[in-house]
Amino acid sequence: MSSYDVIVIGAGPGGYVAAIRCAQLGLKTAVVEGRETLGGTCLNVGCIPSKALLHASHMLHEAEHNFAEMGLKGKSPSVDWKQMLTYKQNTIDTNTKGIEFLFKKNKIDWLKGWGSVPEAGKVKVGEEVHEAKSIIIASGSEPSALPGVEVDEKVVVTSTGALTLNKVPKKLVVIGAGVIGLELGSVYARLGAEVTVVEFLDAITPGMDPEVQKTFQRTLKKQGMKFVMGAAVQKTEATKTKAKVHYKLRKDDSEHVLDADTVLVATGRKPYVEGLGLEALNVEMTKRGQIAVNGTWQTSVPGVYAIGDVIEGPMLAHKAEDEGMAVAEVIAGKHGHVNYGVIPGVIYTAPEVGSVGETEATLKEAGRAYKVGKFSFMGNARAKANFAGEGFVKILADKETDRILGAHIIGPAAGELIHEICVAMEFGASAQDLALTCHAHPTYSEAVREAALACGDGPIHS
Ligand code: FAD
Ligand code: NAI
């Protein structure tokens, strides 16, 4: 038996960041992880592999669509799927090994195996029981099941199977037009698959700014993706190599069937708490199966904390990381803090989508007076030069005070541009503060400034 100040269960972005910060703050720390490699969902089967495939397939798209016009002639590249998977795996490996290096550097013990909490202050891994003054549960999430749809991770797959298909399917049906469905759907569409997305609601990416939703869907359609909206999937039928997806259109209850070589089920994720022993420990859960925590990430059991996908809030790696740092500070007797009002969301398609803060819908619901400053990338010189003029920046600011309340961007590098707005919001900046800040020319960032100008006396280039 070993004794620690802190034992973290789960080495995803929440858990590994919490462990590193705990160690940096002088706490003797261990992490329990049952996977073969560190980094959790994000590094192994989530953010990192999906972004590697998005990058590679985007390069192919650029070569096929824009190279000739720029005077880059020659044979366009063809897809070597096996090599693309090797590139993806190498990307995963360098990242997961990086976390192992950081653990060694910070003297964090990796307790290999699946952990449970038999009582407060104790963590069991295999047959060994370790003592810890504080325990942080960061066990993450897993794909939600869909009634009537049996996942075999070969023909009917979740995102995990979709990242390791043995070939690019001819026909891919994606169930769910959320972040996973659209990111991985675009990967396969760019690689030559015929992709049909079946979505229950009438708009893609629920909760997003409606103008962004419309522009986004239009652009994806132009890229060849097909959409069946307002459709409730009833069941799938799969053989070893093919599947049928049965759905009903909500508007008239009519029944339809789609043929597919692969079906990607991407209808959300749920907290993963299996084997932790939370019931016996009497840990309070929310109605949605998340571990309930208070403002300092304490569960209902003293000394047991929880962070990341397993608790309430957006299931995002950076949200988990922020909670990881904050809970470490709380445990070390400092004041950990996460500003949940300023957590950006990014979709890494091309164009990218980035958003933060309030939407027009949430502002209307709260009865708040606001103004909108919008600027199209068609007025941005850099975007036009790079064939990336599609999309816009939209800033929402308080009508009276001009304080920035949110922003929604679809366009080139939206996932980077959104952070200028995040910093501005953290500092309580007004749209005018952004508008008066000199932005280098020619950059995509100028579109953010122009949108800020549009909240005041007007943009220059539109
Ligand atoms: P996880 O990363 O899920 O890690 C939990 C870890 O705990 C796992 O390694 C698991 O093995 C381990 N564990 C669980 N129970 C035990 C136990 N009892 N004992 C020992 N170990 C245990 N988010 C973004 O912000 N950006 C993206 O681009 C992005 N892309 C994504 C793409 C895909 C395909 C998917 C599926 C997700 C993506 N996400 C993305 C979401 C992101 O992966 C999660 O929000 C993030 O990983 C949550 O971190 P976490 O630390 O809470 O949990
Ligand atoms: P999601 O919640 O983003 O989208 C699920 C979609 O499926 C919704 O549009 C929903 O209406 C639809 N749906 C639900 N039931 C359906 C049914 N029966 N038939 C048809 N459609 C149905 O979930 P997703 O895409 O699975 O992603 C899970 C989580 O992973 C998200 O919370 C996201 O935050 C995270 N993630 C983040 C990424 C990023 O930050 N870039 C990338 C990938 C995942």
Q: Which helix (H) or strand (E) holds 38?
A: none
Output the CA 346–ligand 2 centroid distance in Å. Answer: 13
Q: Domain ends where: 229, 249, 267?
A: 267
Per the document, the length of the chain is 462
Do 360 and 425 sit in the same domain of this protein? Answer: yes
Nearest ligand (C-alpha, residue 147): 2
Nearest ligand (C-alpha, residue 33): 1
Output the CA 441–ligand 2 centroid distance in Å. Answer: 37
Torsion of CA 358, 291, 329, 314, to 10 degrees: -20
CA-to-CA distance for 271 and 311, rounded, in angstroms?
7
Q: So what's the pLDDT on residue 74?
A: 87
Mean pLDDT of 85-107: 98
Spell out the residues 6+ positions from residue 435 whose beta carbon is closer than 8 angstroms to its own.
449, 452, 453, 455, 456
Q: So what's the pLDDT on residue 451?
A: 98
Residue 151, in any domain of the structure? no
CA-to-CA distance for 153 and 420, rounded, in angstroms?
39
Ligand 1 neighbour 50 (Cβ under 6 A): yes
Q: So what's the pLDDT on residue 419?
A: 98
Residue 88, in any domain of the structure? yes
φ, ψ at 196 (rounded to 5°): -120, 125
Atom of ligand 2 nearest to the CA of 233: 19
For 238, the token pair is: 């799969």
Do 188 and 334 sit in the same domain of this protein? Answer: no
Do 29 and 135 sit in the same domain of this protein? Answer: yes
- Tally of domains within the chain: 3
Do 29 and 114 sit in the same domain of this protein? Answer: yes
Q: Which helix (H) or strand (E) holds 155?
A: none
Output the CA 47–ligand 2 centroid distance in Å. Answer: 14
Question: For the domain that residue 259 is a member of, what is the CATH number?
Answer: 3.50.50.60
Do 121 and 174 sit in the same domain of this protein? Answer: no
Report the nearest-CA residue for atom 14 of ligand 1.
139
Residue 364, in any domain of the structure? yes
Residue 150, in any domain of the structure? no
Q: Note the pLDDT tens digit of each residue in 252-304.
A: 999 999 999 999 999 999 999 999 999 999 999 999 999 999 999 999 999 99
State the average pLDDT for the chain.
Answer: 97
Do 256 and 293 sit in the same domain of this protein? Answer: no
Residue 417, in any domain of the structure? yes
Do 162 and 81 sit in the same domain of this protein? Answer: no
Q: Domain range holding 192?
A: 156-267
For 358, the token pair is: 């309030």
Name the pLDDT band for 76 (thresholds 50, 70, 90).
confident
CA angle 127, 131, 136 (to 5 degrees): 100
What is the chain's alpha carbon radius of gyration, rounded to the nearest angstrom? 23
Mean pLDDT of 386-413: 98
CB 248 within 8 A of CB 148: no
φ, ψ at 163 (rounded to 5°): -85, -5
Residue that is written with structure tokens 């973290």 in the block: 8
Q: Domain ends where: 304, 338, 372?
A: 338
Ligand 1 neighbour 193 (Cβ under 6 A): no
How far, rounded to the nearest angstrom, does the alpha carbon of residue 404 sit from its chain's CA centroid? 24
Do 284 and 367 sit in the same domain of this protein? Answer: no
Catalytic residue among 65, 337, 441, 461: 441
Q: Note the pLDDT tens digit of each residue in 2-31.
A: 999 999 999 999 999 999 999 999 999 999
Burial profile 38-59: b = 16 or more Cβ within 10 angstroms, e = fewer: bbbbbbbbbbbbbbbbbebbbe
Do 14 and 96 sit in the same domain of this protein? Answer: yes
Q: Domain ends where: 267, 296, 327?
A: 267
pLDDT at 1 over 80: no
Residue 148, in any domain of the structure? no
Question: For the domain that residue 346 is a member of, what is the CATH number?
Answer: 3.30.390.30
Can 441 be counted among the known catalytic residues? yes
DSSP 168: -
Q: In angstroms, what CA-CA distances link 96 with 20, 59, 100, 164?
A: 14, 24, 7, 18
Q: Which helix (H) or strand (E) holds 304?
A: strand 304-306
pLDDT at 193 over 90: yes
136: three-class secondary structure by DSSP: strand
CA-to-CA distance for 156 and 160, rounded, in angstroms?
11
CB atoms closer than 10 angstroms to residue 119? 13
Nearest ligand (C-alpha, residue 196): 2
Q: So what's the pLDDT on residue 75?
A: 83
DSSP 76: P
Output the CA 42–ligand 1 centroid distance in Å. Answer: 5
Name the pLDDT band for 440 (thresholds 50, 70, 90).
very high
Is the preceding peptide bond at 351 cis, omega within 30 degrees of 0? yes
Do 246 and 365 sit in the same domain of this protein? Answer: no
Ligand 1 neighbour 181 (Cβ under 6 A): no
For 295, the token pair is: 């403002």
Return binding residues.
51, 115, 176-183, 199, 268, 309, 315-318
Do 17 and 119 sit in the same domain of this protein? Answer: yes
CA-to-CA distance for 395 and 450, rounded, in angstroms?
10
Q: Which helix (H) or strand (E) holds 446?
A: helix 445-454
Spell out the residues 6+ positions from residue 355 whose beta carbon is closer than 8 angstroms to its own.
208, 209, 212, 344, 345, 406, 407, 408, 409, 418
For 423, the token pair is: 């910093």
Cα atoms in the 13 Å half-sphere on the side-chain side of 37? 15
CA-to-CA distance for 289 and 330, rounded, in angstroms?
25
pTM for the whole thing?
Answer: 0.98
Torsion of CA 164, 170, 175, 178, to 10 degrees: 70
Residue 461, in any domain of the structure? no
Do 328 and 274 sit in the same domain of this protein? Answer: yes
372: three-class secondary structure by DSSP: strand
CB atoms closer than 10 angstroms to residue 343? 16
Q: So what's the pLDDT on residue 366?
A: 97
Residue 391, in any domain of the structure? yes
What DSSP string describes 383-404? HHHTT----EEEEEEETTT-BE
Return binding residues for FAD.
51, 115, 309, 315-318
